[in-house]
Amino acid sequence: MPPPATNDRDEPAKDPLSAAPDGSRRLVSLDVLRGFDMFWIVGGGALVGTLAKAEDGTLLGAVREQLTHVEWAGFRFYDMIFPLFVFIAGVSLVFSLSKAKEEGGRAKAFSRVLGRGLLLFVVGFFYSGGFKDGLENVRWLGVLQRIAMAYTGAGMLFLFLPTRALVAAWVALLVGYWAMMQYVPIRDIKLQTPVIEKLSALSGGKSARELFDATTETTRGKYDPGYNVSNHFDFRFLPGKPYDKYYDPEGILSTIPAVGTCLLGAFAGLLLRRKDLPPTGKSVYLGTAGLLLVCLGLIWGMQFPVIKKLWTSSFVCLAGGWSLMLLAVFHQVVDVWKVRWWTPPFLWIGTNALPVYLSANLLGTNGGYRGIAERVLGGPVKASLGSAGGPVLAIGSLLLMLMFARFLYRRGIFLRL
């Protein structure tokens, strides 16, 4: 479609997202929050990391640490980026599916869920490499595939269950996943490279599959890497080449609680659509629910550890609680108080999060935006700047991404699934 004309301000003259699907004014805060989330993935995190190195101190070092994932158990800010996307997808589906259901009935809304979920899964499949390394090395599951499956699962539950039943389904997903991880027996073998290599040497060169099949002793209630129900299930049934060699952090069983994360977003969306609550009251409810969920996640984590790579139920509660509190703050500041002078960069990214995310991987032949920035600011330019060369390169990469996002926004191009 031809791009609409723009006005003199930094916004499109006709933004097709200016109204929510239910006919009300758009929740600008949702786009801004989505953009804030994506910002750290496509440049913000790298910039802080580079500045921390240049600073050579502890001021940015602590921030830099929060912009890295924990190795296994635990929680940092960066561990919330992914579940926040799944959460936002849940908020959005309430508005889009409610409108589709009103206009064309449940059948139309159902086809919308399946169509969008399938399309996002296919996009994620090609983002992860597609067939380039052969069928046996395909990574079938990944970040976008998880969002697709969580959105599809939560969307179908939303369409066919009333609110109270949705809450019951959410509880069942988390408690059921915990019970499975705690009580289903697994073979007493750790699918960890050093362990497998040692066992292989002792057994005359047997493969991991042969060692796994030969193990007869069982155990249960384990949550170590490669030594739990979810990872063992991936090893046995996940085709292709998992990300972590023997299993995948976006594996089969851990998709179950990810649907719960998306449902949390749906609950937030249902609250935001209510007309019997004042806007500030909605923010208070969101923030209070988030605080309670964080406490629940921390308490549950004492028995069922907070592990992003297993998407444990305690992780769902902890990350979901923080997501709810972030949404409460953004809703109050952006939608209620309308303090928006700081939002344009995040709005540009948030209204086109998917193309920005994909372009960061697909543009250029050497690291997306950073690869392009290095063609101008790398080599002798970077060397001449000394310790400032790294930050300048990171800033250049970030500016390229923002220019692309702003270009799409100014011309009214909004690519969403």
**Residue 4 counted as domain residue:** no
- Do 157 and 177 lie in one domain? The reply is yes
**Residue 416 counted as domain residue:** no
pTM, two decimals, is 0.90
DSSP per-residue letters across 285-320 = HHHHHHHHHHHHHHHHTTTS--BGGGT-HHHHHHHH
**Residue 9 counted as domain residue:** no
Torsion angles phi and psi, residue 192, rounded to 5: -125, 135
CB 38 within 8 A of CB 405: no
**Residue 298 counted as domain residue:** yes
- Do 298 and 403 lie in one domain? The reply is yes
- Do 47 and 166 lie in one domain? The reply is yes
- Do 169 and 75 lie in one domain? The reply is yes
**Residue 171 counted as domain residue:** yes
- Do 82 and 193 lie in one domain? The reply is no
Cα–Cα distance measured from residue 44 to residue 261, given in angstroms and rounded to the nearest whole number? 24
**Residue 92 counted as domain residue:** yes
- Do 212 and 355 lie in one domain? The reply is no
- Do 369 and 384 lie in one domain? The reply is yes
- Do 324 and 213 lie in one domain? The reply is no
- Do 108 and 84 lie in one domain? The reply is yes
- Do 175 and 200 lie in one domain? The reply is no
**Residue 2 counted as domain residue:** no
Cα–Cα distance measured from residue 218 to residue 33, given in angstroms and rounded to the nearest whole number? 45
Tens place of pLDDT per residue across the chain (417 aa): 333 433 434 444 344 333 333 334 468 999 999 999 999 888 888 777 777 666 655 666 777 788 889 999 999 999 999 999 999 999 999 998 988 888 888 888 999 999 999 999 999 998 888 888 888 888 999 999 999 999 999 999 999 999 999 999 999 999 999 999 999 999 999 999 999 999 999 988 899 999 999 999 999 999 999 999 999 999 999 999 999 999 999 999 999 999 999 999 999 999 999 999 999 999 999 999 999 999 999 999 999 999 999 999 999 999 999 999 999 999 999 999 999 999 999 999 999 999 988 887 776 444 567 767 776 676 665 666 665 666 777 788 888 889 999 999 999 888 876
- Do 115 and 32 lie in one domain? The reply is yes
Range of the domain at 218: 186-237
**Residue 255 counted as domain residue:** yes
Instruction: Work out how many domains the chain is built from and give that number.
Output: 2
CB 183 within 8 A of CB 221: yes
DSSP per-residue letters across 259-295 = HHHHHHHHHHHHHHH-SSS-HHHHHHHHHHHHHHHHH
Of 212, 237, 262, which residue is a domain's last?
A: 237
Cα–Cα distance measured from residue 86 to residue 264, given in angstroms and rounded to the nearest whole number? 9
- Do 157 and 286 lie in one domain? The reply is yes
What radius of gyration, in Å, describes the C-alpha atoms of the chain?
Answer: 23
